[in-house]
């Protein structure tokens, strides 16, 4: 038996019940795919359920304010996904009359929809014979066929896409694509797959050559940048505080935070004082105290954020202030959300 039937047989036997597999509604499939980019099913599931409930149709999502979309996305990371999600919802409503396009090419033209996601929607919803190549597929193909070309090299990306196309089952593309990903996620796991119990063991090249733990090959180590954040937590006599929205290019775009003073190293109060004067949001008459003596190190893929929270009590009226409890309505990074939790205790 060749590769595809083995995958399909395994899938029919072992598939999990996932809500986005019970529909061909491209809106829901698209939503699930965006949520699941670089995200485990277990982590994405509650977000998917909340999004479907809050926005049952693409029109509901398109009509929502971005802030509500970001708030629902809070904690999931890669926030460009949420912004692109909103952009694409509006695009589908205005440019496609509320109906998702059915071709790979048109789907890929949508913001946040790349090669994988376009193939996924086209094959799952419209039976378009396009192979999906996600992290699971790279792993399964590289092991089963014994391919050691780096999966994140230009050559590797092209090679695996072609290989995936050659071995796919075009007649059952929906189940096949779901199946190979499910097989990678459940059976052919990244670490310590249980090959003794694998129905593909007899023809798996990596297993024959005892190279399962060396495949797939991946290049490039991420190098981490250290940054030093001083968050200024303003509190006036009325219990109001101040938030600012992150603009520009970097992390957490369009999310909210306390007024931030970034520095090249950890600062003492005396070093922070002059920098505060440059920040308009901060009143001059305020008492400064450091909340956490040990910096909180918030770790992202490419950055370690060494963070100090400074409490600034002022008798001034904070013009741009919001009630402390009102913070809950704003989308904030996990770093801020965690701090808010600890402060209230």
Partner DNA sequence: AATACGGGGGC
Partner DNA sequence: GCCCCAGTATT
- Residues found near DNA in the complex (CB under 7 A): 18, 20-21, 32-33, 36-43, 75-80, 84, 111-118, 120, 134-136, 138-139, 152-155, 178, 181-182, 184-185, 190-192, 218-223, 225, 249-253, 298, 300-303, 333-335
With respect to DNA, which residue has the nearer C-beta, 14 or 320? 14
Nearer to DNA, 229 or 310 (CB): 229
Please say which residue, 223 or 277, places its beta carbon nearer to DNA.
223
Q: How far is CA 205 from the centre of its chain?
A: 33
Q: Is residue 218 within 8 Å of residue 150, measured between CB atoms?
A: yes
Minimum gap (Å) between residue 309 Cβ and DNA: 15
Q: At 33, which helix (H) or strand (E)?
A: helix 26-36
Instruction: Give the closest residue to 45 by CA, choosing from 27, 19, 78, 22.
Output: 19
Shortest distance, CB of residue 136 to DNA, whole angstroms? 5
- Output the CA–CA distances (angstroms, integers) from residue 138 to 130, 164, 258, in the order listed: 15, 9, 41
The closest alpha carbon to 242, from 136, 142, 146, 318, belongs to 318
Question: Least distance to DNA from the beta carbon of 115, Å?
Answer: 4
202 assigned to active site: no
Q: Spot the catalytic one: 13, 33, 162, 270.
A: 33
Helix (H, G, I), strand (E, B) or coil at 318: coil
Nearest to 128 by CA among 106, 96, 97: 106
Please state the closest distance from residue 139 (CB atom) to DNA, in A.
5
Which residues, 6+ apart, have CB-to-CB distance to 160 below 8 Å?
133, 137, 138, 141, 142, 147, 149, 151
Residue with smaller CB distance to DNA, 233 or 318:
233
Which residues participate in catalysis according to the annotation?
A: 33
């Amino acid at each position: 038996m060749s590769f595809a039937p083995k995958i399909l047989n395994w899938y029919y036997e072992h598939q999990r019940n996932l809500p986005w597999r019970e529909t061909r509604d491209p809106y829901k499939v698209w939503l699930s795919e965006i949520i699941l980019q670089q995200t485990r099913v277990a982590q994405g599931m509650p977000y998917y359920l909340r999004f479907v409930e809050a926005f049952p149709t693409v029109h509901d999502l398109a009509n929502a304010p971005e802030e509500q979309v970001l708030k629902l996305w809070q904690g999931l990371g890669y926030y460009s996904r949420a912004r692109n999600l909103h952009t694409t919802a509006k695009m589908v409503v205005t440019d496609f009359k509320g109906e998702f396009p059915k071709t790979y090419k048109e789907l890929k033209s949508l913001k946040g929809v790349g090669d994988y996601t376009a193939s996924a929607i086209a094959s799952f919803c419209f039976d378009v014979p396009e192979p999906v190549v996600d992290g699971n597929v790279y792993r399964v193909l590289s092991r089963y066929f014994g391919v050691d070309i780096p999966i994140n090299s230009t050559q590797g990306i092209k090679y695996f896409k072609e290989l995936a196309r050659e071995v796919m089952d075009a007649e059952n593309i929906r189940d096949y694509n779901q199946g190979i990903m499910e097989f990678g996620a459940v059976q052919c796991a990244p670490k310590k797959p249980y090959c003794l119990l694998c129905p593909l063991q007899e023809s798996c090249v990596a297993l024959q050559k005892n190279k399962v733990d060396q495949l797939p090959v991946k290049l490039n180590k991420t190098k981490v940048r250290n940054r030093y954040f001083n968050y200024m937590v303003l509190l006036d006599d009325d219990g109001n505080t101040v938030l600012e929205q992150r603009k520009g290019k970097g992390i957490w775009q369009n999310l909210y935070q306390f007024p931030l003073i970034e520095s090249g190293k950890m600062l003492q109060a005396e070093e922070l004082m002059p920098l505060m004067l440059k920040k308009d949001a901060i009143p001059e008459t305020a008492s400064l105290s450091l909340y956490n003596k040990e910096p909180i190190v918030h770790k992202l893929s490419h950055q370690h954020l060494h963070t100090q929270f400074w409490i600034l009590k002022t008798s001034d009226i904070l013009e741009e202030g919001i009630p402390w409890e009102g913070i809950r309505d704003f989308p904030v990074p996990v770093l801020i959300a965690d701090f808010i939790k600890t402060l209230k205790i």
